[in-house]
Structure 1
Amino acid sequence: MLPFLSVKAVEMESQVRQVSYLLWRQPELSSQNPDNDFLELYRYQARVELRPDIKFIGTHYQLMLKPRLSYDYWWHKVGAAEESGDSQGDIYLNEGMIQFEITPDAFIVYGRENLQWGPSYLRTPSNPFFRDNGQDNPKKEIEGKDFFKVIYLPNDWFTMSIIGLLEPGGMKSETAPIETDFRRQNALKLDLLGVNYNASLILSRQDGGNEFVGGHAQGTATDAVLIYFDAAVYRGHTALYPRLDSSHPLGGDFVRQYDNNTKQYFIGVTGISYTLENSATLSLEYLYNGIGYNDSEAEAYYFLRQNAADNIHSEFSDLARANLGASLDPGLKLLRRHYLFFQYALNEMGEKLSYTLRWTINMDDHSDMFTLITEYAYNDYLEFFVIGDVNQGSSNSEFTSLLRNDLMLGFEYTF
């Protein structure tokens, strides 16, 4: 009889958090969202969310469920869009998986998961499954995807994981209404854990032939200095690139130019963190995104985006909206090639108050984003938070294409 089929006592662990917030946004009526006719963003949003986390622990298995119940109310559209309120309630499973112990050092896992790794803050190039690592806003959850995993842990310093991405999972985002084609993907992940370092190697292949080799590592140079990197090399990828065509009514469209291509592309982050005497941490990162648009591709991108914006109500409206959907989400971790990132993080008042200041700079189009994350733990159950972004740059730049500013005020209560 297989060990995970034996029936013994089951332990249950649970926690329920209620997250509520008000969100104010200042949309930028750029060519990406002309007069707010494409995305129809609201200036204000109120959200109440119930986040139960439930775990059942058996002798040879674990079942984890993270169902979510949410209610949103939006009001005050800007631009040409009709100024009216709207609301929506949702019940969904953000994460949920079951793990079976085959032997004491081997497990199989199936289910929906937000699978993250790596030491970098800005992006995680070595993760082929998620473009967002959730660092921008700790109060917004990333939607899980459906995975099958086989995990082998022969000792304390080595882990091998075979990972299969089966389904995209999740729901459509308010700012990404255009669906993209999903492709299954498999990966092999090897992890090493040392005394003052850790490192991982990731090999991945996507249906259609695109391949990926990635890795990340970090090590302590001194008690106060941490050095790390996170990088990947792609051979072919599914990102969309602008294609100029004089015979096209809008001057061109967006295509998967390098899909199943043998050319190799590098994306990597190198970073350093320094801990001050007051326990604050200063971090600096540089990211090179070889998959991002160069100057000529960016010029074509904004040319096609402007033509689409000019024709959103013309006889070519469907083509215009298709191009705007592609320009909104071309499938890149970041749009351009060179980025700098600075962060200052500090816990004060016996770790009751924490705040993080971030500054992200696009070195190609000279746009930047300032982020403030403040959290105050009133007691063991109640926490207040303030999270805000200020984006600077022209309307034809990455960080100001959708929003100029946004501010989130809220609280989290743990039952």
Structure 2
Amino acid sequence: MFRNSIILALLLCATLPAAAQSFRWDIEWYNSVQGMEQDQESLIDPTGRRLDNPKARFQSDLRINTKYTWKNGTRWVFRPRFQGWANQYHYLDTDETKTTVTGEASLPEAYLEGDATRRLTLAGGLQNYQWGPAEFISPTNPFFHFRRDQRSYTYREDGRFLLRANWSPNSRWSVITIAEPINNGQSFWIYEQKFKPKGVVKIEYRGRNSLNYLGVASGTIDDTIPFVGEYFNTELVPGFSIYLDARHTHGSAQYMPDISPDLLYDMVYVRNTETWNTLAVGGIRWEGSVDFRLEYVYNSYGMTQEDMLAAFQSAVPQHPRGDENLKRILGSGRELLGQHYGYASLRMPDLFIQNNNVFLRYIQSLTDQSSTVQLAWDTAVGDAWTFFAEANYSFGDNTQELSALERASGQIGLKWNR
């Protein structure tokens, strides 16, 4: 009720365009066909019923981006989204096929932002507010979490309800305070746990070169676990940068595999306040005729290879509590299940022809050696259309992290922009 009242108040503000100094808008319309390979050898979902992922999908996704600017500089951003899906499911145990058609209207972003003084900016509402130098993950940002499909062409992160204050005493320094007092209405990302408010204060210094910056952050992550963190990016020579983003907590709150009285593994929620943990990503970047990144991720919150195998064993269909344990693995409270990862990405713009991009991304779990590769391509078709295609494939067996839940997927589509 509280969240709905706030959004209603913001919507009422948007009905006053006459007072606006300027009004800008654009439309993005995505239409795509997606497919996923089913794996009869899957340890977790050999029939296709448990994860219930569609074998084939047609998706239509309309995104409207609007921005009012009042004479005093106050900005109102409103970005509704309308989606429709036609899904085809195939269940391997009975060779049954099912088709569904669904639709949804949502509001990923809607917020007010304005300058209280020359040096202080305030904002409130549903915002997708990101920071950090790395491409793969941003440890010092506790409001947004790693998603396996976050680099998909059609992926869009839903905003969180944030209250934000940016104070910049000069062009070099900024102090940013962010609070998330209420949930955005989505299911909480840790299974069976309730949302709790959290916040961050971060201080950032930027050099004359915008690629040279250093920041420190402190606040709380989920379940009110306190954290401190730091991040930096520095350009050593033109085009070549190194960077780091790290978070440290005294404690953790997540699901762990444990032996139950019937001698079977179950996923149990553990709130630990005794140990120090770190999630960190460090990397190098080359920006020239191509954009290349190489990153290493350290995640002491993650499971060992033995713990991960125990977790997957708790979620097999034959386990009497397997369905519940599977949900706890998918919502475990970890950004990543394992402890060590390598990540590489390569973007090649205007390859052979103008107005096109080719992406190659590769992630490998250094815990169990499973890996996933993505190849993506987009190219302009006339002034308003963009054709895009992507394919993903995971290497490893059915007990390894990156190959246990998905083997292969892909999509092709068209985007119209006005």
Answer yes or no: same fold by TM over 0.5: yes
C-alpha deviation, 1:181, in angstroms:
2.5
TM superposition shift of 1:208: 4.9
Shift of 1:8: 5.2
Q: Tell me what 1:272 maps to.
A: 284
Q: Distance in 2 between matches of 1:389 and 1:334?
A: 18
User: Where does residue 113 of structure 1 map in the other structure?
Assistant: 127
- Residues 144 and 170 in structure 1, CA contact (< 8 A), matched pair in contact too: no
State the match for 1:287 in structure 2.
297
Offset of residue 27 of structure 1: 3.0
User: One-letter code of the match for 2:116?
Assistant: I
Deviation at 1:165, TM superposition (A): 1.2
Distance 2:322 2:348 in 1: 46
Judged with a 3 Å threshold, the aligned counterparts in structure 2 of structure 1 residues 92 and 100 are, in CA distance, closer, same or farther, namely: same
Shift of 1:260: 5.2
| Aligned partner letter, 2:32 | Y
C-alpha distance in 2, partners of 1:163/1:94?
18
SS at match of 1:303: helix
CA displacement at 1:169 relative to structure 2:
2.0
- Matches of 2:130 and 2:185, distance apart in 1: 15
Equivalent in 26, 32, 39 of residue 21 of structure 1: 32
**Aligned mate of 2:45, from 26, 33, 36:** 33
1:138 shift after superposition: 3.6
Q: Tell me if structure 2 keeps the 8 A contact 1:157–1:194.
A: yes
Query: Tell me, what secondary structure is at the counterpart of 1:326?
Result: helix
Count of residue pairs the alignment pairs up: 395
Question: 2:106 is matched with which residue?
Answer: 92
Contact 2:305–2:368 under 8 Å retained in 1: no
What secondary structure sits across from 1:73 in the alignment?
Answer: strand
- 1:310 aligns to 2:318 (yes or no): yes
2:410 corresponding residue in structure 1: 407
Distance in 1, Cα, partners of 2:359 & 2:180: 33
Q: Equivalences for 1:358-373 in 2 at 5 Å?
A: 358-373=361-376
Structure 1 stretches of 5 or more lacking a match? Answer: none
Contact conserved, 2:265 with 2:311, CA < 8 A, in 1? Answer: no
Please tell me the residue identity of whatever aligns with 2:331.
D
Alpha-carbon spacing, 1:233–1:178, altered in 2? closer, same or farther (3 Å):
closer
* d(CA) in 2 for partners of 1:18, 1:78: 31
**Alignment partner of 1:11 out of 22, 28, 36:** 22
Extract unaligned runs of 5+ from structure 2: 1-12
State whether residues 27 and 41 of structure 1, in contact with CA within 8 Å, keep that contact through their aligned partners in structure 2. no
Q: How does 1:157-306 map to 2 (within 5 A)?
A: 157-169=172-184, 171=186, 180-196=193-209, 197-206=212-221, 208-245=223-260, 247-248=261-262, 251-257=264-270, 259=271, 261-275=273-287, 279-306=289-316
Taking a change above 3 Å as real, the CA distance of residues 71 and 214 of structure 1, as seen in their structure-2 partners, is same
Q: Supply the AA of the counterpart residue of 1:310.
A: Q
**Matched residues in 1 for 2:205 and 2:213: separation?**
6
Residues in 2 aligned to 1:352 and 1:139: alpha-carbon distance in whole angstroms = 18
Deviations 1:176-197 (A, max 9, x none): 8956422211110212211230
Q: How well do the aligned residues superpose, as a CA RMSD in angstroms?
A: 2.3
3-state SS, counterpart of residue 76 of structure 2: strand
Q: How does 1:313-392 map to 2 (within 5 A)?
A: 316=320, 319-348=321-350, 351-392=354-395
Deviation at 1:238, TM superposition (A): 2.2
Distance 2:37 2:186 in 1: 24
CA distance in 1, matches of 2:290, 2:327: 41
CA 1:388–1:208: 2 relative to 1, 3 Å = closer
Say if 1:178 and 1:36 are closer, same or farther in 2 by CA, change over 3 A: farther
1:373 is displaced (CA, Å) by 1.7
**Paired-residue identity, %:** 21
Q: Name the SS of the counterpart of 1:85 in structure 2.
A: strand
The superposition leaves residues 235-291 of structure 1 with CA deviations (integer Å, 9 ceiling, x where unpaired) of: 22222111212x14x72422232x251311011111112245xx0122211111111
Normalised by the length of structure 1, the TM-score is 0.89
Check the 8 A contact 2:299/2:336 in 1, yes or no. yes
The answer on whether the counterparts of 1:28 and 1:395 sit within 8 Å (CA) in structure 2 is no
CA separation in 2, counterparts of 1:45 and 1:170? 25
SS at match of 1:300: helix
Q: Which residue of 1 aligns with 2:6?
A: none
